[in-house]
Chains A and B, each alone.
Chain A
Amino acid sequence: MLGTLENSIRVRPISSELSILGNCDGSARVKQGNSSVMVGIWGPVEVKQSKEDPEKCVIETTVKGATGQGSPLDKMYEEAVRQTCEQVVITSAHPRTCIQVIVQVESEDGAILAVMKNALCLALMDAGLPMRSMFAGVSCAQQENEELMWDPTAEEEEESTAQYTFVYENSRNNVIYVHCTGESTVEQYMLALQKSRQVATEVFGFYRESFEKLLRKDVKFQMLLPPIIKGEILEEPE
């Protein structure tokens, strides 16, 4: 997975598990180093009339941190998850319904927002909700010597002077979510934005691999496929 990244970009190995929660419509767990996040998605499901929207589906999110006790950061994560879902999920396809997203942070060791977004994307795909594109989260930190590093651990984040989390989507490679804190110049910010895109491309490749594995294993899926006859393939996509 790390083959096509520049030499200066090093990220921790990423692993995923799909469809782990039996009752959910979609679920995924993503681990990057010691950071691990699990996401469960129900939907589209019934929503109370007071909350329903006649034109699109409402997205409700709940984030629970690793320490069990609620913290104000949870609300920030909830807002982040909801905003990204609203950007990517085609909400007009399911009016008057609700999509419930539950995020459980299992262990935190840096880059937690990026890991959360990755798990969110896989869970949305697992649930079969219509999406405009996939999205990937990349976490970047600027060290004291002004060099950038990617996928920092918690310790590295503490020592850094600026922390960035970018979420890219793969249809036009635009960035759909940014969370940046610390102190950085405009030039440093744009450099981080442009370089982090490479990591996102790797993550998209990883998503495809994860899904192919899942599709091959799924018995119901095998049942659905008709025998594919060579010669009747659609035009190859560009």
Chain B
Amino acid sequence: MADDFKIAQPKQYQRLFLKDEIRPDGRALTGCREVKIHVNAVSSALGSAMVCYGNTRVIAGIKGRFAEPTINNPNSGYLIPNMILPMTCNTKYRPGYPDDAGVAMSNKLNTLITDITDLMELCVVPGKVVWSLNLDVVCINDDGNVLDAAVLALSAALNNTWLPATRVMEETGRVLVDPEGERSRLELKFIPIAVTLSVFDDKTLPDPSEDEENIQSGSVTCCIDDQSKIRAMWSSANLSDDVISAALVYVQKRASVLLSVLRKVSKTS
């Protein structure tokens, strides 16, 4: 009976819960779902992480290959992020052409990782061979707030990326991976963390579930890094300045919590 009501009048359903200062899945109004991070989930990748926000699950994997640098930047490597939302993660995604949502998210990830690392560190043979890192982020299950999970997965994966040593063959000039050489860790200038709040009526609810995402009137996503700088902000909700200030305070607190989890996981791996 409650299920029927939820399908027929989803907004009213949500309002009844919010009136009692609770969200339909039992959380407090400012409560977030449990976050789990598992680094090195994919052993064949140079770096990887799997992140769970409640039932939302995202895996990020970093694969490297050798490539030629551009003429303008002969000593810089490439970081190519790609967000994949396959149809298996949610019934709203159809097979075939990549969904618009996936492309938009790829764009956002791309903006976040510009300047995240010194691309010259990815140089192997100056002017000839550089590392090209494919940052693939795949959503395995979409239960809302995929963007936050994707950013956290990507940050965790990049933070635990080890570039293998390389050896140049003198006769042919080919570059090969040297399995006995010492690996070098990819150094990040900052670690971005994204926190999304969905706006419904006059309430801002962090970490929306899929049901909440479907009925929201807008959302605010703010990315803060480990030095408390705003790296990006995407907002499509009608908000007054006070609400934005309060939201930013919340985002900073939440980001520091997530950062400490990320660091703890990285140390033990």
Contacts and interface: CB of A to CB of B under 8 A. Distances in A.
Direct contact of A and B (CB under 8 A): yes
Interface stretch (B20-28, B237-245, B259-267): B237-245
B163 interface: no
B214 interface: no
A179 B103 contact: no
Contact of A73 (B107, B220, B236): B107
Contact of A194 (B107, B217, B232, B241): B241
A198 interface: no
What is the interface of chain B mostly: helix, strand, loop, or mixed? mixed
Given A87-B238, A175-B244, A189 B233 contact: yes
A178 to B, nearest CB: 4
Interface string A73-86: 10110111001100
Nearest to A78: B100
B233 A185 contact: no
Contacts of B100: 75, 78-79
B233 A174 contact: no
Given A72-B103, A79-B100, A172 B240 contact: yes
A181 interface: yes
A75 B97 CA distance: 13
A200 to B, nearest CB: 13
Nearest to A75: B103
B252 A186 contact: yes
B241 A190 contact: yes
B41 to A, nearest CB: 27
B218 interface: yes
Contacts of B241: 174-175, 190, 193-194
A177 B235 contact: yes
A185 B229 contact: yes
B248 A174 contact: no
B204 interface: no
A179 B104 CA distance: 13
Contacts of B107: 72-73, 75-76
A46 interface: no
Interface residues of A, number: 30
Contact of B228 (A76, A80, A84, A186): A186
Given A172-B240, A193-B244, A180 B233 contact: yes
A87 B236 contact: yes
B245 A190 contact: yes
A47 interface: no
A108 interface: no
Interface in A164-191: 169, 172, 174-186, 189-190
B231 interface: yes
A210 B206 CA distance: 41
Contacts of A84: 236
Contacts of B104: 75-76, 79
Given A72-B107, A83-B218, A180 B230 contact: yes
Interface in B120-165: none
A153 B154 CA distance: 32
Interface in B82-97: none
A172 B252 CA distance: 27
Interface in B210-257: 217-218, 220, 225, 228-241, 244-245, 248, 252
Nearest to B249: A186
B196 interface: no
A190 B246 CA distance: 11
A103 to B, nearest CB: 15
Interface of A: 72-73, 75-76, 78-80, 83-84, 87, 162, 169, 172, 174-186, 189-190, 193-194
10 contacts: A75-B100, A83-B218, A84-B236, A87-B236, A174-B239, A175-B235, A176-B239, A180-B232, A189-B248, A190-B244
